[in-house]
Amino acid sequence: MVVNDLIPLGLVLLSVVVAAIIFPLPQRVARLRSTVNLVGAVTKLVLVVLLVPPVVAEGARPEFSVPFLPTGGGEAISLVLRVDPLALFFAGLSAVLWLLTTIYAIGYLKGTAYQSRFFGFFSLCVAATVGISFSGNLITFLVFYELLTLVTYPLVAHWGDEKSLKAARLYMRYALGGGVAVLVGVVWLTMEAGPADFAEGGAADVADFAAGSPTVAVIIFALLVGGLGVKSALVPLHSWLPAAMVAPAPVSALLHAVAVVKAGVFGIVRVVDDVYGIEVAWELGGLTPLLILASITIIYGSYQALRQTEIKRRLAFSTVSQVSYVVLGVTMFSMAGTAGGVVHLVHQGIMKITLFFCAGLFAESMGAHKISDLRGAGRRMPWTSAAFTVGAFGMIGLPPTAGFISKWQLGLGALDSPHPWVLVVLVVSSLLNAAYFLPVVYSLWFGQKEDEQDSEQEYDGADAPEPGTARTGDDARVHEPALLLIPALCTAGFTLIVGLAASLPFSPLEISRFIAEGVFS
Amino acid sequence: MRTPEILIALSLLIPLVVTAVIALAGTLGLARARRVRRAAAMFSPLTVLPAVLLTLVGPEAELEVPWLLLGTAFSMDAAARALTLIAALLYGAALMAVTWVKLRDAESGSGALSAFLMVCFAGNIGTYLAADAVSFYLAFAIMSFSAAGLVIHYRHQAARRATRIYLVMSVISETAILAGLILTASAGGYLIADAPAAVAASDHTGLIVVLLLIGFGVKAGTVPLHVWLPLAHPAAPPAASAVLSGAMVKAGLMGWIRFLPLGDPAIPAAAGQTLLALALIGAFAAVVAGVLQSDPKVVLAYSTISQMGFITALVAVAMLVPEVTGAATAAAVLYAVHHGLAKGALFLGVPVVKHYAGGRTGILVAIGMAGAALAVAGAPLTSGAYGKYVSKEAVEGITVLGLGLDQILPLVATGSTLLLMRFGWVITRAERAPRRRPDGELFSWLGVCAAGVAVPWIIGLRWIPQAGDFSWTASALWDATWPILLGVGLGAAIAFAARRDLLPQWLSADGQTVPPGDIVVAEESLLVRGGRSTSAGLDAAHGVTARVRSRGASGGHRLAEWTRRGASRAEAAVGSWEGSGVVIVALTAVTVVLVMWAGGLW
């Protein structure tokens, strides 16, 4: 494939074009809207997949750049879109999950109002995410990062009721506040060290500047990471995330798996690895506080998840915890750790989106919102329950899921790093994850309704029907809509496949190891 | 690929494939699903055949799958060969007992039960065959979690409680093992062949050893981690208990053998001594707890804890005394082989006694059960005598608190005798439900009995060269006999005393004095009470912080309200959201065009 420099621009514009077509469409032309959506999503996925071999194996770096802000004398500050392995890694995740979430959303929103608005902003959200992944310097990143905040607001507020609007406003306040910090940091750093193109091992200008005035460099680092920490839901900046759960299920799925939360962590990875460079960040002493913050977030998020009784809120706090694995990995200052953190960008995405797809399915098909509603759901919705089980096992880190690969890699990284105690954080987090996911899995498959519990003393199993047999009343099979189910099964399948085939060429693990080598080169 | 390689792959995959068929049959609609499930279940006992074949033709089989997980490898050695054969026999028999019976006699949900058994089998032999830490961990986790499906099978209250406790213990076990294995791999022990040396050379040897002792100790029923055993065994169907006791607990033993640098002075002596003390406590205390039970399967579960204490003592000796490491390890494996078949026969025999204890088959059943019980006790000519003889030889000259270990261990046989007398007493009084025609349940049990007579000898003499031969001298035979006679005498004395009401009231053997699961009952209530008060305290703390936060936020709220009013005016001005979406797209388009123009692209 001829790698053209316009490809990154094309990939960003693709989603914008889709949005531009969809916005004016009237509500009733569902088929055309779905077709445009799906064609866009498939095209993007194919293009991203085709980019993998040249970029990862052959070292091609397609780059598109235009002057953006004039500067006094020297060269202008440019908007740069560049495809490097890390960018492709993130774009690949968003391309795969966009396609699946679009299918899910088409099924989920069937027959509801304002679909053109929803899918339009949905596409813009993806455009922003692709922009974030391909950004070649901080200014470009900032532009798309702020754009993402703006276009996700209508998605969170989609239902338009009091609760949604309140949650959306909370989200907006947090995101804009964080955005201001990032803005100040980016402008300040650009003034001091120039546009600071992302580079493997860090930007040379930033390294020089940090050597000259370390204090200012630390302050800017704190501003950038603190601002990005809002979207990545680092404690204590996480409160917007559980509140934003009122959004429609596909939005929650996208928010948690790839778009907003991930954009925040992805930004942190960029700042640590490609702007400052891990060596410089380490010498400045910026990594250890961040590592401790990530550890606290991991434990605190798990602890809060344990206290929740609603499915979606438990998942939300689980995201708070799990996303910080990425930060943990990239700040522990070891190559294996960086690989573990980066690979968790993808692994957490596919696992968590599976869980959200399933939560949406449970809510839609059975009206189950609380964890106690899920008792015995395995008999009524076996496929959804199976997918949920895979996702939950992934979160706990059981083999052969993707989550196990992350945990193993992070554990090895921790022992390689100056902070072997991080292994304790991982172990405690595993225990907590098991404590809040296993009971759910247990009640899915083995749970029983409360009224059954009274009569069970006499129940000796002798008359238990064959599993999978349809029963009357509450135990009857519930219809699991195909458009919602297939994406969930796909991501559950991916969770197993990327775990099982972790050592194949171009597997997420192999690519992230390659990225980590670049970071430490 | 060569035949042994293919056999390894088939041994692990075929059970999983048949399981998948049973699971996916659910998509076929009711009647067909039932037919497919029944057919798959009928086929399920045959899924162990590749593993049997593998142990016969592939003593040094190896299989590498570099793309799987983090690069996996499987390989066969003497220990794996012996234990894989036993596992295959036991799981095959269990599957047969569950499925090769008339439909009306079958367990309800026998399709699901055989599916869980097959997955558990694949995991179980996977732990034996794994040649790297990750495959081992994968197999161990698959085995542990699928066994929960065996324990909960009947879905009654006791099964649920047993499953919950089993799962809690399994999570503790898995977590400890994961941490231990990550530490091992980080020290360069990713491949099991390198693991013991890596653990010994690691900076964290003590920590790894403790983690692995705890992690595998849960499975091996080491006191005080044994609590799940006496709850899970009676709750599970008898066929499942047979594989839990006969094969699955041995995976814990295998974990120790594979990863611990046995006999290496790098292991802190305290670890070995503690393990030895716990092993001996388990071996004897389980007898006391066991004879007070009234459910035959609980009695057998305590017998397993006692016997695993014996095996664990051998591991501890292998850890402590470098000179006998090889012999003690081989003895532990041989003892596991013997115990697997003998205990499997006893568990499988529980329903056999229920269904076939009358008439001419009754005599056969009595002979078989008595033979299996004598084997567990270690009577002369049985596999137990061989296992105990080899173990005694291995630990000769090692003393604990001034007593020779070779004098202490035979007393375990006395305890076993007591336990099995108790077992015989309760099972002869258990209810009967005669079946007319012999079926898979009877035949599978007979098969395991027959295997128990011959297989341990063949394995010991042919497959495990370090185990050594049995000495057919009068003194060896006497050594095997006196502990049993002592046990019989003690048992008779206790029975006599009980008949005459000479025993204190609290010692009544109705499972009330020591409830099954012994210490977990106290732990459980402590946990429940502790958990309740902790969560109440935490709720209160969260309430306080919420109040503080809301007070602090009220100032912010006023400011926010003000901006909100402004913002909603702006919102209204932009109009509907469709409108604002168009605005954003238009603005973006204009910006892009401008930027491209400025950049000289046009």
Per-domain residue ranges of chain A? 287-450+474-521
Sort out which chain B residues have CB atoms less than 8 A from A446's CB and list them: 152, 155, 160, 163
Residues B347, B238 contacting (CB under 8 angstroms): yes
Cα–Cα distance measured from residue A239 to residue A177, given in angstroms and rounded to the nearest whole number: 13
- Cα B419–chain centre separation: 22
Sort out which chain B residues have CB atoms less than 8 A from A79's CB and list them: 595
Q: Which residue has the tokens 């001298």?
A: B473
Structure tokens at B92: 């095959």
Cα–Cα distance measured from residue B282 to residue B304, given in angstroms and rounded to the nearest whole number: 10
Minimal C-alpha gap between B236 and chain A (Å): 12
Which has the closest alpha carbon to B238: B419, B492, B430, B487?
B430
Please give the residue of chain A at the shortest CA–CA distance from B140.
Answer: A399
Please give the residue of chain B at the shortest CA–CA distance from A306.
Answer: B535
B100 domain residue, yes or no: no
Cα–Cα distance measured from residue B597 to residue A466, given in angstroms and rounded to the nearest whole number: 70
Contact at CB, B584 and A412, closer than 8 angstroms: no
Sort out which chain A residues have CB atoms less than 8 A from B599's CB and list them: 65-67
- Cα A257–chain centre separation: 3
Structure tokens at B221: 């029923």
- Strands (E) across B95-233 are located at none
Enumerate residues 6+ apart whose C-beta is below 8 A from B451. B89, B341
Scan residues 305-334 of A and list those with Cβ closer than 8 Å to B. 307
Please give the residue of chain A at the shortest CA–CA distance from B38.
Answer: A466
Give pLDDT tens digits for B174-186: 999 999 999 999 9
Reduced 3-state DSSP string for B3-68: HHHHHHHHHHHHHHHHHHHHHHHHHHCHHHHHHHHHHHHHHHHHHHHHHHHHHHHCCCCEEEECCC
Q: Which DSSP string corresponds to A353-395?
A: HHHHHHHHHHHHHH---BGGGGTTHHHHSHHHHHHHHHHHHHH
Minimal C-alpha gap between A65 and chain B (Å): 8
Structure tokens at B305: 């804890």
Per-residue tens of pLDDT for chain A, all 521 residues? 457 888 899 999 999 999 999 999 888 888 899 999 999 999 999 999 999 888 888 888 899 988 887 765 566 788 899 999 999 999 999 999 989 999 999 999 988 888 889 999 999 999 999 999 999 999 999 999 999 999 999 999 999 899 999 999 999 989 988 999 999 999 999 888 888 889 888 888 899 999 999 999 999 999 999 999 999 989 888 888 888 888 889 998 888 888 889 999 999 999 999 999 999 999 999 999 999 999 999 999 999 999 999 999 999 999 999 999 999 999 999 999 999 999 999 999 999 999 999 999 999 999 999 999 999 898 889 999 999 999 999 999 998 999 999 999 999 999 999 999 999 999 999 999 999 999 999 999 988 766 555 444 433 444 444 444 444 445 678 888 999 999 999 999 999 999 999 999 889 999 999 999 999 98
φ, ψ dihedrals at B47, nearest 5°? -70, -15
- Best of B64, B166, B182 to substitute, by most chain A Cβ atoms within 10 angstroms, is B182
B341 domain residue, yes or no: yes
pLDDT at A242: 87
Contact at CB, A503 and B67, closer than 8 angstroms: yes
Sort out which chain B residues have CB atoms less than 8 A from A458's CB and list them: none
Sort out which chain A residues have CB atoms less than 8 A from B145's CB and list them: 398
State the ipTM, two decimals.
Answer: 0.92
Residue B276: how many other CB atoms lie within 10 Å? 21
Nearest to A117 among B160, B564, B581 (CB): B581
Contact at CB, A427 and B175, closer than 8 angstroms: yes
pTM reported for the whole predicted model: 0.90
Which has the closest alpha carbon to A9: A74, A58, A97, A78?
A78
Nearest to B182 among A415, A442, A503 (CB): A415
Cα–Cα distance measured from residue B222 to residue B173, given in angstroms and rounded to the nearest whole number: 12
Enumerate residues 6+ apart whose C-beta is below 8 A from B67. A501, A503, A504
Enumerate residues 6+ apart whose C-beta is below 8 A from B9. B1, B63
Contact at CB, B108 and A464, closer than 8 angstroms: yes
Structure tokens at B541: 């703390």
Residues B40, B25 contacting (CB under 8 angstroms): yes
Reduced 3-state DSSP string for B530-550: HHHHHHHHHHHHHHHHHHHHH
Cα–Cα distance measured from residue A121 to residue A127, given in angstroms and rounded to the nearest whole number: 9
Cα–Cα distance measured from residue A359 to residue A368, given in angstroms and rounded to the nearest whole number: 8
- Cα B317–chain centre separation: 23
Minimal C-alpha gap between A394 and chain B (Å): 13
Enumerate residues 6+ apart whose C-beta is below 8 A from A156. A164, A167, A168, A171, A244, A246, A247, A251, A255
B245 domain residue, yes or no: no
Cα–Cα distance measured from residue A391 to residue A388, given in angstroms and rounded to the nearest whole number: 5
Domain hosting B302: range is 262-510
Question: What domain count does chain B have?
Answer: 1
Cα–Cα distance measured from residue A507 to residue A485, given in angstroms and rounded to the nearest whole number: 25
Sort out which chain B residues have CB atoms less than 8 A from A470's CB and list them: 30
| First-to-final CA distance of chain B | 61
Using N-to-C axis directions, what is the helix angle for B3-24 and B49-57, rounded to 10°? 170
Structure tokens at A71: 């500067």
pLDDT at B511: 60
Sign of CA dihedral B315, B317, B319, B323: negative
Cα–Cα distance measured from residue B225 to residue B218, given in angstroms and rounded to the nearest whole number: 5
Please give the residue of chain B at the shortest CA–CA distance from A77.
Answer: B599
Residues A143, A190 contacting (CB under 8 angstroms): no
Residues B245, B298 contacting (CB under 8 angstroms): no
Cα–Cα distance measured from residue A148 to residue A156, given in angstroms and rounded to the nearest whole number: 12
Please give the residue of chain B at the shortest CA–CA distance from A461.
Answer: B154
Structure tokens at B48: 């162990």
Which has the closest alpha carbon to B215: B181, B261, B262, B164?
B181
Q: Which residue has the tokens 């990939």?
A: A11
Residues A325, A410 contacting (CB under 8 angstroms): yes
Q: Which residue has the tokens 């370390």?
A: A214
